[in-house]
Amino acid sequence: MPAIILAVILSYLIGSIPTAYIFVRLIKKADIRKIGSGNVGATNALRVLGKGWGITVLILDIFKGFFPVIVLGSLFVPSLSLVQECNLSIIIGLSAICGHNWTIFLNFKGGKGVATTLGVLIGLAFRIPGLNVVLGLTVLVWIVSFVLIRIISISSILAALSFPIFTLIYRQSNLVILAGILLSLFVILRHKSNIKRLLKGEEPRLSLKK
């Protein structure tokens, strides 16, 4: 139990690393929370820093979710059964997402968690049979909706809503379905400000070139 708790705490701390904040502080000498949308995430970093650095932040945010799921459970608790390892990986992944969304390094005010959630799901897809199909369909929902609408927040919300539905369709375990519902709620709740702007018709579109 102490090893599991340590793995969960470490996952939270890794997820808490405010990548976008650090890059904007180093490159622009500015506080990303006071620029653009004010969000501490890859989308705002893309707007503030441009494509190159924005993609770098995106990749690192994905890695913050992928690394704990793949490494920490096996490292701290190596003698688990396959089912136990999958269950622990889900808990570790949720902890990493919580770290990104509510980072201890910025007074528990973080990003929206989409990139880190993607990293967690990629990691879980290596461990949980059939989850790769669910993840692939979820990503397809994001891509198609973005190409048609070109609003990242809508794409993220639609993808989040579709994920637990796909877990049900493809008969994932009860824990995976529950985790899918939690992840969906996390993403939607973190997009409250975007939803308000969408209702007012003020949410910006991103060009396909960008």
The span from the CA of 165 to the CA of 187, in Å, is 15
Which tens digit of pLDDT belongs to each residue from 96-141? 999 999 999 999 999 999 999 999 999 999 989 899 999 999 999 9
Residues 6+ apart with CB under 8 A from 136: none
The span from the CA of 5 to the CA of 155, in Å, is 34
Looking at 80-174, which runs of residues are DSSP E strands? Answer: none
Residues 6+ apart with CB under 8 A from 192: none
Residues 6+ apart with CB under 8 A from 49: 23, 24, 27, 28, 57
Residue 77: band (very low, low, confident or very high) from pLDDT cuts 50, 70, 90: confident
DSSP code of residue 46 = H
pLDDT of residue 132: 95
The span from the CA of 170 to the CA of 129, in Å, is 10
The span from the CA of 55 to the CA of 45, in Å, is 9
Residues 6+ apart with CB under 8 A from 69: 89, 92, 93, 96, 119, 120, 123, 124, 127
Which tens digit of pLDDT belongs to each residue from 164-183? 999 999 999 999 999 999 99
pLDDT of residue 164: 96
- For the beta carbon of residue 109, count every other beta carbon within 10 angstroms: 14
- For the beta carbon of residue 75, count every other beta carbon within 10 angstroms: 13
Instruction: Please tell me the pTM assigned to this model.
Output: 0.90
* Total residues found in the chain within this entry: 210
pLDDT of residue 43: 86
